[in-house]
Amino acid sequence: MGNDVIYIGSDHAGYRLKLKIKRLLERTGHKAVDVGVNDDRKRYDYPKTAAKVAKKVADEGGRGILLCGTGLGEAIAANKFKGVRAANCFNEYTARMSREHNDSNVLCLGARVLGGKEAEKITKAWVEADFSKEERHIRRLKQIKDIEKKACR
């Protein structure tokens, strides 16, 4: 935990929650690299931010957090990048399982469906969890990577 890079981005709908989550990350010793947006007054298409965060994670490692209205669109867009495993989490359990079982490297949150305190709890659970490295989860991740190789030609 702590001191790892977490790229964070949002569209206009997720902007205010992004600021709250960024402060949480920084308070808990993580380096939060904000890739945008910088206000909520102008509409911004979520695929653009999802691509920025996903590309950073795919090319440079680390993890990412994306925030939009529901978290759904950004998860779909981010998962188009090879090596990205974006999970739209809606409680602490799904956040923890996405890390422990699926080794997710991008957390997607919906600012219009989650309250700030709940989003902070989810983020904390996700950031603190690690991949379990149990044989069954390693095997399943390999299967996902094999699918990705075939699908992304």
- Higher local confidence (pLDDT), 124 or 2: 124
Beta-carbon neighbour count of residue 20 at 10 Å?
16
**Which DSSP letter does residue 27 get?**
H
pLDDT higher than threshold 50 for residue 44: yes
Point out the catalytic residue in the list 12, 30, 89, 101: 101
Residue 63: strand, helix, or coil:
strand
Q: Is 101 a catalytic residue?
A: yes
Q: What kind and span of H or E run contains 75? A: helix 72-78
Q: Which of 12, 30, 68, 108 is catalytic?
A: 68
For residue 136, give the 3-state DSSP assignment.
helix
Q: Indicate the average pLDDT of the chain.
A: 94
- Residues 139 and 133: their CA atoms lie apart, in Å, by 10
User: Distance of alpha carbon 112 from its chain centroid, rounded?
Assistant: 16
Q: What is the pTM of this model?
A: 0.95
**Above 50 in pLDDT, residue 64?**
yes
Residues 6+ apart with CB under 8 A from 146: none
Inter-CA distances, 11 with 3, 37, 83, 107, 120, Å: 25, 6, 23, 15, 18
Give pLDDT tens digits for 66-118.
Answer: 999 999 999 999 999 999 999 999 999 999 999 999 999 999 999 999 999 99
5-151 carries CATH number 3.30.470.20: no
With a cut of 60, say whether residue 1 has pLDDT above it: no
pLDDT (tens digit per residue) in 9-31: 999 999 999 999 999 999 999 99
- Cα separation, 22 vs 17, in Å, equals 8
Q: What percent of the chain has pLDDT over 70?
A: 97
